[in-house]
Amino acid sequence: MRAVRLAQIGNSLKDQDVPIPQIGASDVLIGVAAAGICHSDAHYRAGISKIDNLPLTLGHEIAGRVEEVGSDVTHLSASDRVCVHYLISCGSCEFCVRGLEQFCRSGQMIGKNRDGGYAEFIKVPGANAFPLPDEIAFEIGAIMMCSSATVLHALNKARFKAGESLAIFGFGGLGFSALQLALAFDCGDVYVVEINPAKLAAAANMGTIAIDARTSDPVEQIKEATAGTGVDVALELIGSAKTIRQAVLCLGRLGRAALVGLTAESISIFPYPELINKEAEIIGVSDHLATELPMLIELARSGKLRFPPETLRVVDLDAPQINAALDSLQDSIDHVRTVIVPRV
Ligand SMILES: [Zn+2]
Ligand SMILES: [Zn+2]
């Protein structure tokens, strides 16, 4: 089969011919219909996130059709449409038994620790293949399993409830999903903090209160708009010390700031006035859980979670096209998602 693989850190991905994977009793073989190209893939290629086993087929945002089913897999049959949960866990370590499989002692990420979806076929454990309803296009089924799943996890970690107010820092792919999920959960007022005029306009059009961080301190703007109260939940999706601090400062009493964006910078917090006095919380968010995916899939099936067609771009399973898409992720702030659709 054709696969597009990383052979050397810092180099372009290469087209390679590799054997179709052999499945075991607990696996399924999936014919890849769509594979999202994610910012993390650019980081793997560049060596910013470490990859141990090379060569490796990248790609962790995957949807397709079941080709072959292992004898122990009972919930799927050949030709079923599926999307893939990219975290493979053992199911038996102390974290897995508590439903915290993102900390699995022997956990593996598809497309990082083992071959991913930039290929015609992929082998995954049956437990990682979730039925994909006909209403959800393969391209959407692929990309929602990463960014949308992670913001759903962030809202869950922040214990976001109906009627609560929300501040979203960063209105790219993650922020766009976060807003739709919050609306689906009957949120209160939503404040979107951005510096990009087009994104501010899009956020305002979707019924949020757009906070232009170029004009003045977004914390002051949110405080003023909430009559000094602050918000119940803040989602930080950018990953900079400045916006992380703003996400904490815009919280009201009992507010929760969920941090999703990655940064190596440190932040300073004044514990008494900024956290203790308000009983505010800062919550780290890492990946998502298999148990959250049925709800995510249902929100997409019912149309509450959408991805406008103009934000999706399609490329072939072809190394030059995929490398170009990864290059554009590295230097662009625009959040158009590129999806690989292998030609049959
Ligand atoms: Zn991803
Ligand atoms: Zn485990």
What was the pLDDT predicted at 333?
A: 54
- The DSSP call for residue 177 is H
What was the pLDDT predicted at 334?
A: 60
Q: pLDDT per residue over 82-107, tens digit each?
A: 999 999 999 999 999 998 999 999 99
Q: Which ligand is nearest to the CA of 142?
A: 1
Q: Which ligand is nearest to the CA of 150?
A: 1
Give 38 Cα–ligand 1 centroid separation in angstroms. 4
Alpha helices (H) in the chain, listed in sequence order: 39-46, 138-143, 149-157, 173-184, 197-205, 218-225, 241-249, 271-274, 293-301, 319-331
Q: Which ligand is nearest to the CA of 106?
A: 2
What is the Cα–Cα distance from 82 to 248, expressed in whole angstroms? 38
Give 217 Cα–ligand 1 centroid separation in angstroms. 31
Give 36 Cα–ligand 1 centroid separation in angstroms. 7
Give 146 Cα–ligand 2 centroid separation in angstroms. 20
Give 84 Cα–ligand 1 centroid separation in angstroms. 12
What was the pLDDT predicted at 336?
A: 73
Give 168 Cα–ligand 2 centroid separation in angstroms. 32
Residue that wins the pLDDT comparison between 308 and 261: 261
Concatenated DSSP letters for 11-36?
S--EEEE-PPPPP-TTEEEEEEEEEE
What is the Cα–Cα distance from 44 to 55, expressed in whole angstroms? 12
What was the pLDDT predicted at 140?
A: 95
**What mean pLDDT comes out for the span 146-159?**
96
Give 231 Cα–ligand 1 centroid separation in angstroms. 28
Q: Could you list which residues have their CB under 5 Å from ion ligand 1?
A: 38, 146
What was the pLDDT predicted at 172?
A: 86
**What mean pLDDT comes out for the span 181-210?**
95
Q: Which ligand is nearest to the CA of 108?
A: 2
With 0-12 CB in 10 A as exposed, 13-18 as middle and 19+ as buried, what is 97?
exposed
Q: Is the pLDDT of residue 332 over 60?
A: no
Q: Is the pLDDT of residue 173 over 90?
A: no
Lowest mean pLDDT, pick from 9-18, 189-198, 309-318: 309-318
pLDDT band, residue 309 (cuts 50/70/90): confident
Give 188 Cα–ligand 1 centroid separation in angstroms. 29
What is the Cα–Cα distance from 29 to 31, expressed in whole angstroms? 7
What is the Cα–Cα distance from 214 to 14, expressed in whole angstroms? 42
What was the pLDDT predicted at 331?
A: 63
What are the distances in angstroms from CA 71 to CA 27, 66, 75, 93, 302? 8, 14, 11, 24, 32
Give 96 Cα–ligand 2 centroid separation in angstroms. 4
**What mean pLDDT comes out for the span 130-153?**
96
If you average pLDDT over every residue of the chain, what do you get? Answer: 95
What was the pLDDT predicted at 321?
A: 97
Lowest mean pLDDT, pick from 111-115, 167-171, 313-317, 329-333: 329-333
Give 147 Cα–ligand 1 centroid separation in angstroms. 6
Give 321 Cα–ligand 2 centroid separation in angstroms. 36
Q: Which ligand is nearest to the CA of 87?
A: 2
What was the pLDDT predicted at 153?
A: 97
Chain position carrying tokens 């900079």 = 240
Give 97 Cα–ligand 1 centroid separation in angstroms. 25
Lowest mean pLDDT, pick from 76-85, 172-181, 183-192, 205-214: 172-181
Give the count of beta carbons closer than 10 Å to the beta carbon of residue 331.
Answer: 7
Q: Which ligand is nearest to the CA of 329?
A: 1
Q: pLDDT per residue over 245-275, tens digit each?
A: 999 999 999 999 999 998 889 999 999 999 9
What is the Cα–Cα distance from 166 to 189, expressed in whole angstroms? 6
Give 202 Cα–ligand 1 centroid separation in angstroms. 23
Closest alpha carbon to 322 in 58, 99, 138: 58
